[in-house]
Structure 1
Amino acid sequence: MAVTIKSPREIELMREAGRILAKTHEELAKNLRPGMSTWDIDHMGEEIIRSYGCIPSFKNYNGYPASICVSVNDEVVHGIPHKEHFLDEGDIVSLDAGVIYKGYHSDAARTYGIGEIDDDAKKLIEVTRQSFFEGIKFAKAGNHLNDISAAIQKYAESFGFGVVRDLVGHGIGSHLHEDPEIPNFARKRKGILLQPGMTLAIEPMITEGSYEVVWLDDDWTVMTEDGGWAAHYENTILITEGEPEILSL
């Protein structure tokens, strides 16, 4: 699949998908509290998405059983919600969700603290979020994909954090995952030339310690190998003639 340039109509549909996803994340954030289960979060998220007449992008995607990926503490991404998995005061939780609006996807992730969290956890969440914004400073027509990746890595590693290598961001549109792959770390080649009309899901996944990860037996949940905590921040963006437009904020 080549990298697609979206038409004005397609961009409009993706703007709406992004707007609804941003609202979904806002609603979920307001309701997070100690004692709720990861299943509660998923159930609520699916209800919100469907209340806008949209379809959750993740539900049954390649067999994934839920609408919201709920990843707690040392779970990096793709945590499967369970009724018996409860959130505790001091936990951090990454919520990754997608919305299909009239055939077009948006994809975004946020990491939140549950109740009072310690300073180390706050720092991890903040640096992960900021690394996204450091990256998209380079998300301009005429730059190359690797400019984004290198900026994310440089910022996160300047705080001593790890940048996950086994998972990457991606193009997005009428499919949840489109070309190109978007690493959060520099590679030797420059990558594609960025052009107006490209839509990208950029998603730093940052760890407290080593960047090495392992997959659980459920074939979905990705955890840090050393047990350090991880944070995830993602938005769907549009490359324009000037500054990038964030569609999911």
Structure 2
Amino acid sequence: MPAAPLLGLHNVSKRFGALTALKNLSFHVGESEVVGLLGDNGAGKSTTVNLISGIHQPTSGHISVDGRQMLFACRTDSADAGIETIYQNTALVDSLSITRNIFMGRERINGMGFLKQSEMREIAMEVLKSAVHISGIDSPDKLVGELSGGQKQAVAIARAVFFKRRVLLLDEPTSALSVRETEALLNQVLKLKAENVSSVLVTHNLYHAYQVCDRFVIMSHGTKVFDVAKADTTIGQLTEYVVLT
């Protein structure tokens, strides 16, 4: 019997009042697999990410991890199940330092309950250099509010990489990055795959997805319209599905 998928959505629907954001959505993510979740604005991609992240709960259907049905009532439940999320808006606090943002909610403390400031600072700088290096970030003490959009995304990516789980959700992660920064991120996704971390890449950029994804799920108006392995499709075919559905 084949092993259950690492992450699965099973006939998931989500309604907000009279609005149906998702309808009977099913797809899965396997071990060490990168899945591209594609579609135009309003396709339901961000709603899907929010369901997997525990921000919203399905109206019907369910989510599974390793074949076990899960109920994510909050982001902590999703993280405890091995899922880490990088949001389009980075979800950082501008008034806090890079270090505090990386360890936000996961602070390291000593036996007396005090923060291990030096330890967290050293780890933050090491993660920034090894994960996604962005020029201009020379100190983990810099306030996030002083960073550019690309630098903020780098901090969010570094945070996710350090606390990497079994599945990494990336919601439009390259939207604020330069060409060089984008290449660094895509290379990081492949590096994580080699380390047995799966990813779901949500993006409008089909070329970015085609570089790193093993399989593609295309959505339109809250439903899945195409689910195909990279070996069985072309970027031209993907473009047609996104544009014409």
TM-score, normalization: structure 1? 0.27
* Larger CA Rg, structure 1 vs 2: 2
Which protein is richer in helix relative to its size?
2
**Larger RCO (CA under 8 A, 6+ residues apart):** 2
TM-score, normalization: structure 2? 0.28
